[in-house]
Amino acid sequence: MLGSVGHLDWLRRLPVHIAELGGINDSFVQSALDELLSNGRVSVDTGETLFLDADLVDVMLLGHAIKKSRFENEVYFNSNLHVNPTNICVLACRFCAFRRGPRAADAYALDVEEYISRIRPFSSRIDEVHSVGGLHPEWGVDHYVELISTAKKTFPHLSMKCLTAVEIKHLSQIEGVEISQILSRLIDAGLTSLPGGGAEILDDDVRKVICNGKESSDEYLEIHRTAHRLGLPTNSTMLFGTIETASQRVNHLDRIRSLQDQTDGFQCFVPYPFLPDRTRLPQAQHSTGSETLRTISISRIMLDNVPHIKAYRMNIGDHLSALALNAGADDVDGTVGHEEIMHEAGSETSVEDDLDRLSRLIEDAGGIPVRRSTTYDRFVIHRRRPPSDDERWVSLPVADMI
Ligand code: SF4
């Protein structure tokens, strides 16, 4: 079983994995399991009880059992590089420590040559460039077409996962054209997929406080719907631990799965907590480690139709990511190489792009490290060379390992 194929029959296997993990004692988690087994879906009301009332260990157990039912012990990662083309942004979201005004001393905007030179040192050992950034007041779609097409020409093997929904909306406003026209230009240039950033919490009352001026909840979903219609796979995210309620988190998950019912275009969901450094949101609740694990597990439990749940280690760190791999997450991002957005906000996670180190994190959590492509259609197992008493690692075709 590998990747996005094996997970399809997961509900049938779920009771076996629940039993193997010791069974469930908490009545709220048992209700969620009963709903899954009878309807294939956990209701919004029950989802809310998982946040407010349920025992954490049992919530994590159910999340992990679903993960095992879909993917056994496999844990996916990609070998990627984060390149942020600019930190100049016309908005000023209150949770964002990354953006700069155009006149700030440390504002930057990469031209094509600089963008390519950021990728070049990593190009032989990565599969993907992840590029998101600020809403530059002067860049139109041509600039991004040039960045993406030049990167693809220079490094044809790379997947380009670029531009969040709000960046797509910004380009459509600057150009005065439909979202679909912007996306089509970018797809023609070589765009592989959209990252999920900018979802924050899909509730416009929350958005008004934490990211006023950003795309609305409906616009976020509509941009992803358009991408899916054009055949462009996307991810989705949830930024929690600002001012939202449990009910707003559950509604966020419900809105993602409702769109997924219609389009089947989301590949991966990435829940991550607000990091407070250098931002302007004093009323934020902040998430503890336990709350973060609970939210990752509930994401796995609620999103019955989204294949992958990611532990975003740039945000939650290596230690919590390792625990998340036993609480519902089946994917870790990634080798990364370079990262600014979370580190500006206080992340101390290492960006050392060491494949062996990441694989060890996965193996020590009980997983089998599987290096995947951006679109989860190519897989290579990367693990200690058997016998495993030395520290050498090897990448092997899946067929050689199963
Ligand atoms: S989150 Fe994005 S849109 Fe908001 S201020 Fe930061 S860079 Fe700009």
Q: Which residues contact 168 (CB under 8 A, 6 or more apart)?
A: 179, 182, 183, 194, 223
Which tokens in the block code for residue 129? 């460039």
- For residues 189 and 395, give the distance between their C-alpha atoms in angstroms, rounded to a whole number: 31
Distance 252 CA to ligand 1 centre (A): 20
What pLDDT does 198 receive?
Answer: 93
pLDDT at 319 over 50: yes
What confidence tier does 392 reach under pLDDT thresholds 50, 70, 90?
low
What pLDDT does 378 receive?
Answer: 84
Question: What strands lie across the sheet with 331-333, from one edge to the other?
Answer: 234-240, 266-273, 308-312, 331-333, 74-78, 368-372, 379-384, 393-397
Atom of ligand 1 nearest to the CA of 90: 8
CATH architecture of structural domain 74-368? Alpha-Beta Barrel (3.20)
What is the Cα Rg of the chain in Å? 20
User: In the chain, pLDDT over 70 holds for what percent of residues?
Assistant: 88
| Chain segment 62-93, per-residue pLDDT in tens | 999 999 999 999 999 988 899 999 999 999 99
What pLDDT does 385 receive?
Answer: 59
- For residues 137 and 49, give the distance between their C-alpha atoms in angstroms, rounded to a whole number: 44
Closest CA to 272 of 299, 301, 246, 302: 299
- For residues 84 and 97, give the distance between their C-alpha atoms in angstroms, rounded to a whole number: 14
What pLDDT does 125 receive?
Answer: 86
Distance 109 CA to ligand 1 centre (A): 15
The mean per-residue pLDDT over the stretch 17-26 comes to: 97
Torsion angles phi and psi, residue 190, rounded to 5 = 125, 10
What pLDDT does 7 receive?
Answer: 57
| Chain segment 285-314, per-residue pLDDT in tens | 989 999 999 999 999 999 999 999 999 998
Closest CA to 372 of 94, 104, 78, 49: 78
What confidence tier does 399 reach under pLDDT thresholds 50, 70, 90?
very low
The ranges assigned to domains in the chain are 74-368
What pLDDT does 4 receive?
Answer: 45
What pLDDT does 213 receive?
Answer: 95
pTM, whole model, 2 decimals? 0.92
Distance 156 CA to ligand 1 centre (A): 30
User: In the chain, pLDDT over 90 holds for what percent of residues?
Assistant: 79
What pLDDT does 2 receive?
Answer: 47
Asked whether 81 and 128 are in contact (CB, 8 A), the reply is yes
pLDDT at 402 over 50: no
pLDDT at 342 over 90: no
Helices (H) and strands (E) in the chain, counts: 17, 12
Distance 117 CA to ligand 1 centre (A): 24
Pocket test for ligand 1, best of 162, 166, 239 (most atoms within 8 A of CB): 166
What pLDDT does 390 receive?
Answer: 53
Q: What residues does ligand 1 touch, defined as CB less than 6 Å away?
A: 89, 91-93, 96, 98-99, 134-135, 166, 211, 214
The mean per-residue pLDDT over the stretch 202-210 comes to: 97
Mean pLDDT of the chain: 91
The mean per-residue pLDDT over the stretch 232-250 comes to: 97
What pLDDT does 349 receive?
Answer: 65
Out of 32-36, 121-125, 230-234, pick the least confident. 121-125
Beta-strand ranges (E) seen in 177-220 are 191-193
| Chain segment 131-160, per-residue pLDDT in tens | 999 999 999 999 999 999 999 999 999 999
